[in-house]
C-alpha cells in the first residue's frame, strides 16, 4: 500500500522496460485515492483556441452501471487504469538481484501528493479509465484497489498519442479521436495515419478567422449550440472529413499543391477550400445560413456532394491552374437555379423527383445528388468556349 512521507507518497511498483527505452510502471492503489495524484484531462480549447486535454466527458449512464456493479458482492475490475505522470514522479529501485529480471525491477514510485492543498498541481493525468475511476469515486464502498499502468513524460503530445492508441479499438466518439489527431506526431494505425492530415485541414477550417466554415463544424470542443446560437457547430465533421479525403485522394486538392513541404501543402489546400466554400456561401447565401434540418446544403449529403462538384470545377481549369474564389462563383452560378436546398423538389430525370428534405446522408443519396450536380454543371458550363 502507498506510504505517506511529507508531501509525497511512496507506492510499491514494478518498472518494466519495453523495447530499448520505454519504461512503464505497474502498481495497485485505492481507486478513491487516484484523484489525489491525477486529474482527468478534459478536451477543450485554450484562450488561443488550441486543443488542450484529450479526455471525453463523463458518461453518466456508463458510470452508474459500473458503480452498481462495484456495490454488488465480490466485484472485480481486472483491466488497469492508465496514468501519465510528469517528471516530478521518480522511481526508486530496491536493491537485490532476486528483485530484478532482464526487463523489470521492483521498487517505489515517489509521487508528490498534497490532497489538502486546492492549488496543488497534481503530477498525473488519466489517459484511460476515467469512467471506472468516477464509478469508484461515487460508489458507496470504503475503498477499492485498482491496478494501474503508468508512464512518465512532460510531453502532452505523447499523452495524447497514448490516449488515441489505447482507445482506438473502443467505441469512443470518432469526432474526439479525429479532433486530437492534428496534435500528434507518432506513427498510428493506418486509418488514423491517413486521416491525420485531413483532420488538420478540418481543424484549420473550423478555427481560422478567414474561413467560411469558422466554428460551423460540429466537434467535441465545438458542439451544436442551442437557442440564439444555433448557427454554430451544426455541420457534421465526418461529412467535411469525407469531402477533404475524397478531394485529397484524386480530386482538386490532390493536384492543386506544388510544394514538397507539408506545411506549404497545407496552406495551398486551405486556400482552395476557403476560396471554394466562400463562393458556396456567397452563391447560396440563404441556404448556407441554415442548419441541416432547414437546408440540405449544410447537411452531410450536401457537403460531400458539393465537394464532388468542387473537384469537377477544378478539373475544368486544370490546364490553367487552380481556380480562385471569383472563378468558383462564376461556375457555381450556373447550377444555382437547379438546386433545391431548402424547398421544392429535386428533378433527377429518369430517377424521378425527390422532395428537398428527403435527401439523406446515405451512400445512395450522396451519389445520386453528386452525379446530379456534376451532370448539370457539365451541361451548363463545360461546353463554354472560354474560361473566366
| Domain locations along the chain | 3-172, 179-382
Residues contacting residue 386 through CB under 8 Å, at least 6 positions apart: none
Place of cell 520505454: 22
Answer whether residue 371 shows pLDDT above 90.
yes
Q: pTM for the complete prediction?
A: 0.57
pLDDT digits (tens, 9 = 90+) for 98-120: 767 888 999 999 999 998 888 89
**Distance, CA of 346 to CA of 341 (rounded, Å):** 9
- Other beta carbons within 10 Å of 140: 7
pLDDT, tens digit, for every residue of 252-272?
998 888 777 878 888 999 999
Q: What DSSP letter does each residue of 235-265 carry, written as one string?
A: EEHHHHHHHHHHHHHHSHHHHS---SSHHHH
End-to-end CA distance of the chain: 76
- State the pLDDT at residue 231: 47
Residue 115's closest CA among 244, 4, 245? 4
Q: What is the C-alpha separation between 143 and 358, in angstroms, rounded?
A: 54
Alpha helices, DSSP H, located in 182-221: 190-207
Note whether 201 and 270 are within 8 A (CB).
yes
Write the pLDDT tens digit of every residue in 296-331: 999 999 999 999 999 999 999 988 899 999 999 999
CA distance 308 to 257: 18
For the segment 12-28, the average pLDDT, to the nearest whole number, is 91
| Confidence band of 125 (pLDDT split at 50, 70, 90) | confident
Amino acid at each position: 500500500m502507498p506510504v505517506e512521507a511529507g508531501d509525497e507518497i511512496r507506492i510499491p511498483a514494478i518498472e518494466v522496460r519495453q523495447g530499448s527505452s520505454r519504461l512503464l510502471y505497474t502498481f495497485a492503489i485505492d481507486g478513491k485515492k487516484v484523484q489525489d495524484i491525477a486529474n482527468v484531462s478534459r478536451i477543450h480549447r485554450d484562450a488561443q483556441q488550441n486543443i488542450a486535454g484529450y479526455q471525453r466527458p463523463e458518461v453518466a449512464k456508463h458510470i452508474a452501471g459500473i458503480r452498481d456493479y462495484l456495490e454488488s458482492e465480490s466485484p472485480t475490475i481486472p483491466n488497469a487504469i492508465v496514468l501519465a505522470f510528469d517528471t516530478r514522479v521518480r522511481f526508486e529501485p530496491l536493491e537485490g538481484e532476486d528483485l530484478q529480471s532482464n526487463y523489470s525491477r521492483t521498487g517505489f514510485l515517489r509521487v508528490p501528493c498534497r490532497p489538502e492543498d486546492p492549488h496543488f498541481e497534481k503530477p498525473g493525468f488519466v489517459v484511460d479509465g476515467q469512467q471506472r475511476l468516477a464509478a469508484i469515486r461515487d460508489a458507496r464502498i470504503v475503498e477499492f484497489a485498482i491496478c494501474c499502468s503508468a508512464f512518465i513524460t512532460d510531453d502532452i503530445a505523447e499523452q495524447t498519442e497514448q490516449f488515441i492508441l489505447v482507445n482506438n479499438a473502443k467505441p469512443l466518439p470518432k469526432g474526439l479521436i479525429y479532433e486530437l489527431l492534428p496534435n500528434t506526431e507518432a506513427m498510428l494505425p493506418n486509418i488514423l495515419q491517413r486521416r491525420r492530415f485531413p483532420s488538420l485541414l478540418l481543424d484549420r477550417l473550423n478555427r481560422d478567422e478567414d474561413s467560411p466554415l469558422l466554428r460551423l463544424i460540429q466537434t467535441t470542443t465545438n458542439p451544436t449550440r442551442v437557442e440564439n446560437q444555433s448557427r454554430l457547430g451544426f455541420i457534421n465533421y465526418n461529412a467535411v472529413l469525407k469531402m477533404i479525403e475524397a478531394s485529397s485522394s484524386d480530386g482538386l486538392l490532390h493536384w492543386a499543391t506544388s510544394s514538397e513541404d507539408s506545411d506549404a501543402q497545407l496552406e495551398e489546400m486551405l486556400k482552395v477550400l476557403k476560396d471554394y466554400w466562400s463562393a458556396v456561401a456567397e452563391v447560396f447565401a440563404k441556404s448556407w445560413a441554415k442548419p441541416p434540418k432547414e437546408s440540405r446544403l449544410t447537411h452531410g449529403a450536401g457537403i460531400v456532394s458539393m465537394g464532388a462538384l468542387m473537384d469537377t470545377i477544378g478539373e475544368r481549369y486544370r490546364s490553367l491552374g487552380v481556380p480562385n474564389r471569383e472563378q468558383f462563383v462564376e461556375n457555381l452560378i450556373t447550377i444555382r437555379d437547379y438546386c433545391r436546398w431548402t424547398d421544392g423538389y429535386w428533378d433527377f430525370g429518369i430517377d424521378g423527383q425527390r422532395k428537398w428534405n428527403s435527401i439523406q446522408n446515405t451512400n445512395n443519396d450522396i451519389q445520386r445528388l453528386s452525379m446530379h450536380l456534376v451532370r448539370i454543371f457539365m451541361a451548363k458550363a463545360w461546353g463554354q468556349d472560354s474560361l473566366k
